[in-house]
Amino acid sequence: MSPSASHSKMASVRRVLSAVAVNSVFLLLLAGLTVQEGEQIPAQNVPVQQVQRVQQQQLPVQGQLRQQVPQGQQAQVQRVQAYNAVPQQNIQQNAAMQPQIPNQPLQPNVPLQQNLAANPPNVLAPLNNAGQQNAPLGQVQSINQQVQNVKNEGRLPEMPKIPPRARNDPQMKVKLDGIPPKLAAPAAANQRSGGKGHMRIADNLACREDVQRLCAHNVRTNNFAILDCLQNDRPKDDDLSPDCHHFLWDYKRNLTKDIRFDQAAYEVCKEPLAKLPECSKLETGQGLVISCLMDHKGNISNQQCHQFLVKMTSIVFSDYHLVENFVKDCTGDIQKFQCGRVSSRDEESQIDHSQGYVINCLQKRIGEKDGLEVRCMKQILRVGELSADDYHEDRALYFACRDDRERFCEKITAGEGKVLKCLVQHKFEHDMSDDCREKLIIRQRLVSQDYKVNYGLAKKCKEDIKHYHCRVDNMPEGKFAKLSFILLCLENAIQKGRQVSGDCQGEMFDMRRQLMSDFQISPEIVLNCRKEIEDLCSGLQKEGRTIHCLMQNGMDDSKTAQNRLSKTCMIAVQSLVKEADAGFDYRMDVALQDACEPVVQTACKDIKPGDAMILSCLMEHLYTPSMVVECEEKLLELQYFISRDWRLDPRMYRKCAKEAERLCNAGPEWNDTNDNLPPGIVFSCLYRHVYRKDETKLSHACAFEVRRVMHQRAVDVRLNPMLEKACLRDLGEYCSENVEKGEEMHCLQDNFKNLSKQCSERVGNFTQMSSQDLDLDRIFMMSCAPMIKRYCKDIVDKEEDDGALLQCLIDNKNEHEMNKKCAAGIMHMQLIQLKDYRFSFKFKEACKSDVVKYCRNIKNKADLVNCLSEIVRNDTLMENKHKISKDCRGQLRVELLDRGEDVRLDPKLMQECNRDIQQFCDKEQLGDARILECLKRHKKKLSDGCHVKLFNREREELTDNSVDYGFMRDCKPMVKRFCPQSDPKEVLHCLRKNKNNEFMDERCKKAITQRQIEQAEDYRLDVELQKKCKKDVPKFCRDILAESRSTELEGRVIGCLKAKVGKNRLSPQCEDHIKELMREAAIDYRMDPQLAQGCKEEMTSWCSEEMTNPDTGSVEECLKKKFSEKKITSKMCQTQVLRLLQEGKADIHVDPLLHQSCALDIKHYCAGIPAGEGRQMSCLLEALEDRTVHLQRDCEEKLKSRVEMWEYAAKVAPPETFNELMVQMSASPARNYFVGVICGAVFIILCLGVLTGRMTKRVRAEQKNR
């Protein structure tokens, strides 16, 4: 056999022998010993073989008891058998390891070996005067026989106090003054009727009838079995006679006060007492030593001492009177709450010592407002501590739960609090008895007041509590540490990354789960929320439903703007959530776990059970199809309270604790309750530092956690404590009806202008944050998730958004694949941003300095955009240095482009044009610039106010083409093809040059033409013309400018400039630009607004077919033909056609059809002649008259036609100069008439002068010559 195996077996032998020794001592003490007064008891040791034989002799008796005892009393016998069988079984199991000592006669003077491992100690030595000597070997068998007699007969000492009914019994003639002074053994005074001897309880007159009535016949000879029967097998003592009550009470009291108990304790618990000077120095014979040892029972590891104390507790806890100082400290509370009558020993009839009733009655008062006094509270908690390891020692609980123990915890062995823990786990089972459930709740309430009442927690967390200093002298409630104090202290260590044993964390988990499952075990909830529970949560008690009811009512009611819980109740619920640490493990909350288990099994199945990420996962799925209603409700109720203390999110706390302390004045400890900071203030502070650029910016890990929590809580305004508090009344007024879940923030944003000052400030701050981080709008992100993946994948992969994601979505808002919900969400975001420029993060960051400098008093974003864009436009036109910064100009261009997409993004335009939109564009859908294009098509019919707004919008778009949404939408691919290097604001000029390119997209070509038509209507819409003709316009068209109109000038300024072409009056650059406009207008009549307006009826009447192709020059050709045919009679139209003929005569390029027909001839015959001023036309006319030149047939016919038109035009064209007038008059058939009229007019003027001259007053000559 190996040394280790041998050592293990010897250790087992020692444990068994220790148990035998303790049982022997305990039984000897119960028996009171069979000694007479003055008799010396020699010190002796009991051989192991003798003890073994005694145990073996007892086995048949136990078997007989089981057979003979009736069924109703079987439990009594079984308990006695179990008590006696434990050491016997241990001895049998280790028989092979016991030392074999033959039972041979011993010599009188041979001393017994003092080997404690092999022989039980002589614990009886202190009971006699010769205790310092070992017993002679010849007396060992005599003493062993006495032990056997005690165990078999169970003889117990008679009590010194006899009930009145038994005073005349001849067998009870004993001294009533207590323990005789000569011996510290109450049995010394006991006598039997036959003389010296012993007294059985069954033979005592006070209890004889009760024993015969209640206890089995075969156990009546054993006083321990009788005592067990009378005090342990019945839940109440009301079936015992008062005399027996008093007899048993005096009996047990004298046992606990017996000095021999103390002396036995000194022997059995010698080693522990050496380590506990506070116990070893106490006075003996007063029950103080045993009581002190019981207080330290959890710290005693000595097997013999521990077993001794366990057996003592069965006597002590059978009656509250036997607990040290209990009566003295609790008399006032017992009387106050009528928990029993306490009187002096002389008033025997007034003494009530029912088993555990008084203690249980007082325990019920724990947590009440006018509850127990501090002294009595300590006694109650002390009793709870001492009875923590074995539920038998809690008398009321034991009797209430005996049947439930058999039902639910049959296989659980008693000890170390295992049975109690099992019962608690089944507390809410349907077949759990109400009485047992009530007692368990009381027990749990004790634990909340003193963690040591929970044996498992106290034992398994002992080292951690000590290591992390969770018990200090100045802790709340003096000596006893509240459960909440211990839990918070240990959790503080865990949150700081320190090591707490797994067993301890397991016990913490169980306790937290219990706290969240039943409000009744939390005295603070019971005390502070009593009224709310009765009024709001009546009938809801099981499995955390009452606590969630309180949570639900603790969430502020937006309709009434009130919280239905009192302030003290709210604090109690908040404290409970923190104590339970429900934010770490959702399983702590039984109601939440039951409600959310289906969601966890589907949406969060990949997360390990108990991981804090499960709660985070549930929040991610809030308001999604995978969320069930009941889980949603319970989750919000819990998160409402978690959101009010940033420390309750374990991941965030671990990553941000130091930064919260440094930046936000948060307390240094997780369990700090003295920071007095408003709910949510620390978290708001942390979020403000997420995007800082200086040294106050959060670390990467902390910022990630803060964003995660903010994203989850943004789904409901109630999870934002500061915002909810400020907006509670506004929510009730504007958002209490017809608002979907999670849409409350959108509702507040929609009513932003109507909100109270505090609320608008909070909503504004949140909207600013959401513009920078779109994840704060959960509903929007869920709607747009597929679109983000499709169009903005590169942006969403970035850690910080900075508004780029929203801009990406805006840019793709009108794509065919864009879903309607996402598009609506984008539009909502854009409309919200109009309310305040700060709501647009990128715009605010880019333009905040310019806003302060140039548009200080404007907050509305739409007005601000107008203000800044006007400054940019003026600087552009005047060619001044830009006042607005480059970054702001770039962002302003984005804002203007977005505004052009939907008229709703321009509130003033929308307001002025609302009726026009309803009248002309009611069939057009909003968005994609459709309404704006519709208004442009009907601009001649619009109201004056709408027309002015539309004209200003056109000026912005044609000043900077990049903000023209419709144009950029249609020409974006062509810009990339033809103008990749061009300035974005001048791409129209580039595209115009490539308009007739074979690769030009028809859609873009159409958009280019439309913008040219708009520019032709007013020179102010042509930025290039304004730049090139800046000096020419005021010089030659001053009269037109004097009319100062806010709408189009109908091409009059351009017409004025056209009239000066070819006369060397315009500046070269201006004339070149005007010629270019004339060539473009010659192809498309719509680019000549004067012609289109002057010949509108003629075109409709004579050229309707040609108008279907307006950009081919066919309409102009039709008008010229009708003019030559003298079908055009309107002077206005004639003037415009004549102008066309004259412009074409001056430049063949202005006559596109003629130029097209004669292009080869010009190249052949006029190759060296430059274009302009009629030079190429003169060349062609000379070629036409030269018979040696053969022009192309088409060119020749068109030239002849033009000559005829010019000749006819010369006849009807109005003279422009005096010479032209004179030539026309001389050529006129009525020239004589004109001459006569002129001469007559001269004659009349002459006559009038003569006549009027004589009528004036005559003046002297000297006066005239003065």
CA distances from 716 to 563, 596, 633, 701 (A): 17, 19, 12, 25
The pLDDT of residue 1257: 61
Confidence of residue 351 (pLDDT cuts 50, 70, 90): very low
The pLDDT of residue 225: 75
Helix and strand element counts for the chain (H, E)? 65, 2
Residue pair 119/30 in contact (Cβ under 8 Å)? The answer is no
Mean pLDDT, the chain, as a whole number? 77
716 or 1266, greater pLDDT = 716
Report whether pLDDT(345) > 60.
no
The pLDDT of residue 474: 44
Mean pLDDT of 374-397: 84
Highest-scoring range by mean pLDDT, 23-32, 33-42, 477-486, 826-835: 826-835
399 or 198, greater pLDDT = 399
Instruction: Kindly report the number of other CB atoms within 10 A of residue 1219's CB atom.
Output: 9
Q: Which tens digits make up the pLDDT trace of 109-130?
A: 333 333 333 344 433 333 333 3
Mean pLDDT of 399-409: 90
Confidence of residue 66 (pLDDT cuts 50, 70, 90): very low
Confidence of residue 1225 (pLDDT cuts 50, 70, 90): low
Confidence of residue 598 (pLDDT cuts 50, 70, 90): very high
Report whether pLDDT(188) > 80.
no
702 or 322, greater pLDDT = 702
Q: Which tens digits make up the pLDDT trace of 689-731?
A: 888 877 788 999 999 999 999 998 888 888 988 898 899 889 8
The pLDDT of residue 772: 84
pTM over 0.75: no
Mean pLDDT of 208-214: 85
Q: Which tens digits make up the pLDDT trace of 389-399?
A: 887 888 788 88
Q: How far apart are CA 33 and CA 187, in angstroms?
A: 7
The pLDDT of residue 543: 73
Lowest pLDDT segment from 562-566, 567-571, 1231-1235, 1240-1244: 1231-1235
Report whether pLDDT(38) > 50.
no
The pLDDT of residue 1223: 61
Mean pLDDT of 836-856: 90
Q: Which amino acid is at 726?
A: A
Q: Which tens digits make up the pLDDT trace of 894-944?
A: 899 888 899 999 999 999 999 999 999 999 998 889 999 999 999 989 999
Choose among 378, 387, 386: nearest CA to 328.
378
Confidence of residue 1210 (pLDDT cuts 50, 70, 90): confident
Q: Which tens digits make up the pLDDT trace of 129-161?
A: 333 334 443 344 444 444 444 444 444 333 333
Bridge partners of 808, per DSSP, are none
Choose among 655, 243, 716, 670: nearest CA to 487.
670
Confidence of residue 436 (pLDDT cuts 50, 70, 90): very high
Report whether pLDDT(479) > 60.
no
Q: Which residue is listed with tokens 């700081």?
A: 496
The pLDDT of residue 353: 43
The pLDDT of residue 191: 33
Lowest pLDDT segment from 239-243, 961-965, 1091-1095, 1105-1109: 239-243
Contacts for 1221 with CB less than 8 Å, ≥ 6 apart: 1215
Q: How far apart are CA 1089 and CA 1087, in angstroms?
A: 6
Report whether pLDDT(409) > 60.
yes
Q: How far apart are CA 497 and CA 482, in angstroms?
A: 23
The pLDDT of residue 241: 81
Report whether pLDDT(1185) > 80.
yes
Mean pLDDT of 725-752: 87
Choose among 1014, 1000, 1003: nearest CA to 957.
1014
The number of angstroms, rounded, from the C-alpha of 796 to the middle of its chain's C-alpha atoms is 22
3-state helix, strand, coil in the chain (%, to 5): 65, 0, 35
The pLDDT of residue 109: 39
Lowest pLDDT segment from 7-21, 782-796, 897-911: 7-21
The pLDDT of residue 990: 93
Mean pLDDT of 331-351: 61
Kind plus residue range of the DSSP H or E element containing 1196: helix 1193-1212
Report whether pLDDT(28) > 70.
no
**36 phi and psi angles, rounded to 5 deg:** -100, 165
Alpha-helical segments (H) within 537-689? 545-554, 567-580, 590-603, 613-620, 629-642, 650-664, 681-688
Q: How far apart are CA 895 and CA 963, in angstroms?
A: 8
Q: Which two tokens stand for residue 663?
A: 């930046």
Q: How far apart are CA 1132 and CA 1139, in angstroms?
A: 11
